[in-house]
A = this chain, B = another copy of it.
Amino acid sequence: MTLDALIQRLRDFADARDWNPDHTPKNLVMALAGETGELTALFQWLTPDQSRQAMGDPHLRERVLDEIADVLLYLTRLADVLGVDLLAAANAKIDRNELRFPARQA
């Protein structure tokens, strides 16, 4: 399974439900913000150490998987609607970050 296959699956999903008129970038970015908020809430009372063990709790694990998936789904859909190549954008950003944050090691 690749990211390209996910993009296509989400396109087909929206087409089959006539959801394209609702899938404006403005609406999708709000959906992304909503799902990111739900994901954040799952970690809000955990200490940093507890957060490292989050996936060891079966109930929490299920909710984390669900919310992380939702964030990726809306991010992927948003990028597709905007015509953005997600992986290319991410790699270009790391290129810039390598200049901003030089590595300590040689």
Flag if B2 contacts A2 (CB, 8 Å).
yes
Per the bound structure, the CA–CA distance linking A49 and B34 in Å amounts to 20
| Complex copy number for this chain | 4
Interface size grouping (class) on chain A = 35 or more
Chain B: which residue is nearest A78 at the CB level?
B68
SS of A interface (majority) = helix
Flag if B33 contacts A36 (CB, 8 Å).
yes
Flag if A39 contacts B48 (CB, 8 Å).
no
The verdict on A90 contacting B6 (CB below 8 Å), with A39-B29, A43-B25, A84-B55 known, is yes
The verdict on A48 contacting B69 (CB below 8 Å), with A34-B38, A94-B10 known, is no
Residues of B within 8 A of A31 (CB): 41, 44
